[in-house]
Amino acid sequence: MLDPGIVRTDDDDVVVDDDEPPSKKLETIAKAPKPNTPHSKYLWSRVRKNITNHTTRHFGGRRVIQPMTNLPSFPGAQRPARSYRTDADGVSIATYEWGNESDPPLFLVHGGSDFAGTYDVFAPIMAAAGYRVISWDHRGHGDSDHTALYGWDADIRDALTVMSSITNKAAPVVAHSKGGALMLQLADASPYRISKLVNIDGMPSKRRMPDAPDHDQTRMMAGEITGWLDFRHEAALAYRKPGSLHDLAMRRGKMNPRLPIEWLEYLVTIGARQDDDGWRWKLDPTMRFGGFGPWRPEWTLLRMIALGMPFLGLIGTIDEPMGWGTRPRDLVPWIPRNGRLEAIHDVGHFVHIEKPNEVSTMILEFLS
């Protein structure tokens, strides 16, 4: 099935050169002499790789984390103590750790369009409490490989590969948003891998479809299908629009309206890279979340109620663009027997970022 991420990235962030058919343009660019402008160099290198090396394990080739000199910091934020790469069947997954290696493992799973660095405040708190905290950038996100295909099962396999590289025993997991929904599926399919599960606003209850008759919904779906297919034709030429560090933070702010600009600027220094012509988010521009597919959000809740391990669900009460639109009362009937749900008032989708101390205290108490 398609990646049912639900969230939509800021479409203003993606640019497609569409003045001629993509296939013709790809051929033309691939055969042309290497151009000199920064943007043309970037596009040329991408297309050349696309044409000649489409099965490469390192498509994108952007692996170097920018040196952190004279860049914004954020109170409490700490970069991981260790970072390395994990091979997931040919897909290189950027993996990070905070805390002592001898401490018991705790896995943190980020949401759609995010990256492990969004835990830079939360993870150190958990590490200080005695955990070896492990997180990773999902394929297509952060510093992990950009791949040709993205899917729910592939994300879960990548997760299992990282988790198995640390331990084959059941371990606690804290997961946010899409990462939370992924881990609900993993917990259902492989309950022996997760000892305790914390889900932070990753419990989709229903699709965000307005109340419309069937024939109107069919027409709306037709629009989603053609929009997605049209984008697939152009995807090979898509790239992220460059801008200043502040520009990218402001763009992200459209999707994260409750988060302070200082935090968003800090995220740019991790989730974006600095090219000659400006900063670009590292998120694969060919990824297009949401859209259509057979997956139904309510399937996640059918998995959730059946879980046997201790479960803590956290949800903010304020809806945000990157959230699922789930309300606490939608979830109450689906909380598993060994679980509980905590609704945190006056907080949006990024519960752990808005209230890191309150949320980490609650989670540490649960994990203990």
Is 48 a binding residue for other proteins by CB under 8 A? The answer is no
Is 177 a binding residue for other proteins by CB under 8 A? The answer is no
| Candidate list 68, 209, 212, 222; residue touching other proteins; CB under 8 A | 222
In total, the chain counts a number of residues equal to: 368
| Candidate list 14, 29, 133, 154; residue touching other proteins; CB under 8 A | 154
Buried b (16+ CB within 10 A) or exposed e, 57-79: eebbeeeebeeeeeebebeebeb
State the minimum distance, in angstroms, from the CB of residue 146 to other proteins: 8
State the minimum distance, in angstroms, from the CB of residue 240 to other proteins: 15
Is 148 a binding residue for other proteins by CB under 8 A? The answer is yes
For 252, how many CA atoms within 13 A lie in the half-sphere containing its CB? 29
Angle between helices 178-189 and 152-166 (to 10 degrees): 70
Amino acid identity, residue 20?
E
| Candidate list 97, 114, 143, 145; residue touching other proteins; CB under 8 A | 145
Binding mask 282-321 for other proteins (x = CB under 8 A): ----x-----xxxxx--x--xx------------------
Q: Which stretch binds other proteins (CB under 8 A): 115-123, 182-190, 247-255, 326-334?
A: 182-190
Is 23 a binding residue for other proteins by CB under 8 A? The answer is yes
For other proteins, the closer of residues 212 and 229 by Cβ is 229
For other proteins, the closer of residues 222 and 332 by Cβ is 222
Binding mask 200-219 for other proteins (x = CB under 8 A): ------------------x-
Binding mask 244-283 for other proteins (x = CB under 8 A): ----------------------------------------
Residues 6+ apart with CB under 8 A from 121: 74, 76, 77, 78, 353, 356
State the minimum distance, in angstroms, from the CB of residue 89 to other proteins: 5
Q: Which two tokens stand for residue 54?
A: 């489409």
| Candidate list 20, 101, 153, 276; residue touching other proteins; CB under 8 A | 153
For other proteins, the closer of residues 74 and 299 by Cβ is 299
For other proteins, the closer of residues 296 and 355 by Cβ is 296
| Candidate list 151, 321, 325, 328; residue touching other proteins; CB under 8 A | 151
For other proteins, the closer of residues 22 and 124 by Cβ is 22
State the minimum distance, in angstroms, from the CB of residue 354 to other proteins: 32
| Candidate list 50, 113, 135, 326; residue touching other proteins; CB under 8 A | 50
| Candidate list 86, 95, 118, 147; residue touching other proteins; CB under 8 A | 147
| Binding residues for other proteins (CB under 8 A) | 1-2, 22-23, 26, 50-51, 54-57, 59, 88-91, 139, 145-151, 153-154, 156-158, 160, 185, 188-190, 193, 218, 221-222, 225-226, 228-229, 232-233, 235-236, 286, 292-296, 299, 302-303
